């Protein structure tokens, strides 16, 4: 009985994080991006510097009509946003925020996380295919191609961290972390973060959406709440990527002091910091062309991550 209650409480916390932190990141994107471009961003919603802008957006999306194109594959079309969103919610379950503070501690946590995150792309592909729209289809196929290219460096970089820690458990990796991982696993961290950004299809890797050439890619035909779910999945994706990078390469809950009591705070600070990096990259860099995108993955990130795996292995064997 207590375990059932415990599980329910943990899931509630996960759901709460799932609902609040992405909004925090979304608001940060609104304001940080605006100021980076010399603007103010939202200023009215909620009264103080537009803090309630995303709430207002949500209300607006909920009011809008949900249109399904006549030629669309209705069932798939309506299902796609949930397929895109739910994997990120599930991944949050296995991410530790403090020592022992994890909704479900899996021994193969990193394997589970990477496998589930990759499911999200199915939602995008479903949306692209079922929309009966050539722009949506091109966008969906581009998204699939992007996933294929960037999944490899992502997994290799994560494998490097797992090798360094000698475990597949996310909590285990965070426990094994120490400061000299920063130079040792630095390349893997950068590769993981960049490849993760590309998997999220965030600018500058937003070829699948590329609004100036293919309207909005897979999301072209979506309106109202379903569109909002896709947007939400993008922000939850940022949080998941930042959290995974934090746990794998930045020591998770490790902080300057009180790791056990304030672990969740250090995790949150790192996650928000990395989310800021994602936003910063979006503002600073123009969109990559499709061939440049593939080139970056296959000629830069894959060799770098392979090299990192070799370095990790050599150091592990030498120090063992």
**Site residue total, another protein (CB under 8 A):** 14
Strand, helix or coil for residue 93: helix
Residue 28, both tokens: 């940060």
Among 17, 23, 25, 32, binds another protein (CB under 8 A): 32
CB 139 within 8 A of CB 217: yes
Residue 301, both tokens: 């990130």
Q: 103: how many CB neighbours lie within 10 A of its CB?
A: 20
In the bound state with another protein, the residue whose beta carbon lies nearer, of 20 and 37, is 37
Query: CA 23, CA 320: separation in Å to the nearest integer?
Result: 44
Query: CA 75, CA 47: separation in Å to the nearest integer?
Result: 41
Residues in contact with another protein, shown as a per-residue x/- string from 221 to 260 under the rule CB under 8 A: ----------------------------------------
Closest CA to 204 of 285, 300, 289: 285
Q: How far from 55 is each of 45, 60, 165, 205, CA to CA, in Å? A: 9, 9, 41, 27
Q: Quick one: which segment of 28-36, 63-71, 79-87, 289-297 binds another protein (CB under 8 A)?
A: 28-36
Closest CA to 237 of 125, 146, 118: 118
What's the min distance (Å) between Cβ of 23 and another protein?
A: 21
Residues in contact with another protein, shown as a per-residue x/- string from 147 to 176 under the rule CB under 8 A: ------------------------------
In the bound state with another protein, the residue whose beta carbon lies nearer, of 38 and 183, is 38
Question: Per CB under 8 A, does 300 bind another protein?
Answer: no
What one-character DSSP code corresponds to residue 296? I
Among 5, 38, 70, 183, binds another protein (CB under 8 A): 38
In the bound state with another protein, the residue whose beta carbon lies nearer, of 35 and 60, is 35
What's the min distance (Å) between Cβ of 41 and another protein?
A: 9
Query: CA 80, CA 126: separation in Å to the nearest integer?
Result: 6
Could you tell me which residues are beta bridge partners of residue 101?
Answer: 98
3-state helix, strand, coil in the chain (%, to 5): 75, 0, 25
In the bound state with another protein, the residue whose beta carbon lies nearer, of 32 and 242, is 32
Among 6, 19, 35, 75, binds another protein (CB under 8 A): 35
Question: Per CB under 8 A, does 16 bind another protein?
Answer: no
Residue 65, both tokens: 């009509």
Question: Per CB under 8 A, does 40 bind another protein?
Answer: yes
Question: Per CB under 8 A, does 39 bind another protein?
Answer: yes
The residue with tokens 């002091």 is 257
Residues in contact with another protein, shown as a per-residue x/- string from 265 to 294 under the rule CB under 8 A: ---------------xx-xxx---------
In the bound state with another protein, the residue whose beta carbon lies nearer, of 20 and 285, is 285
- Chain residues that interact with another protein, rule: CB under 8 A: 32, 34-40, 43, 280-281, 283-285
């Amino acid at each position: 009985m207590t375990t059932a209650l415990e599980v329910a409480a943990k899931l509630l916390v996960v759901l709460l994080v799932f609902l609040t932190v992405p909004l925090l990141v979304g608001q940060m994107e609104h304001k940080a991006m605006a100021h980076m471009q010399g603007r103010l961003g939202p200023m009215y919603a909620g009264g103080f510097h537009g803090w309630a802008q995303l709430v207002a957006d949500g209300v607006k999306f909920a009011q809008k009509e949900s249109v399904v194109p006549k030629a669309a594959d209705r069932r798939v079309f309506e299902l796609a946003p949930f397929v895109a969103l739910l994997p990120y919610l599930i991944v949050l379950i296995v991410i530790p925020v403090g020592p022992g503070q994890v909704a479900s501690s899996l021994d193969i946590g990193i394997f589970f996380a990477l496998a589930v995150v990759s499911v999200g792309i199915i939602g995008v592909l479903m949306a692209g295919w079922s929309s009966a729209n050539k722009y949506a289809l091109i966008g969906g196929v581009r998204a699939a191609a992007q996933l294929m290219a960037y999944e490899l460096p992502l997994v290799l970089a994560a494998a490097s961290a797992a090798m360094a820690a000698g475990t597949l458990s996310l909590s285990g990796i965070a426990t094994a972390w120490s400061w000299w991982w920063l130079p040792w696993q630095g390349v893997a961290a950068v590769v993981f973060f960049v490849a993760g950004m590309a998997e999220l299809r965030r600018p500058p890797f937003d070829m699948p959406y590329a609004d100036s050439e293919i309207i909005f890619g897979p999301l072209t035909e979506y309106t109202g709440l379903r569109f909002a779910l896709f947007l939400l999945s993008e922000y939850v994706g940022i949080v998941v990527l930042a959290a995974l990078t934090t746990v794998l390469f930045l020591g998770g809950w490790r902080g300057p002091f009180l790791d056990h009591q304030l672990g969740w705070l250090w995790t949150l600070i790192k996650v928000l910091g990395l989310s800021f990096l994602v936003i910063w990259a979006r503002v600073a860099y123009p969109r990559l062309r499709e061939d440049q995108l593939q080139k970056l993955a296959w000629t830069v990130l894959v060799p770098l991550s392979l090299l990192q795996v070799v370095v990790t292995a050599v150091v592990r064997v030498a120090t063992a």
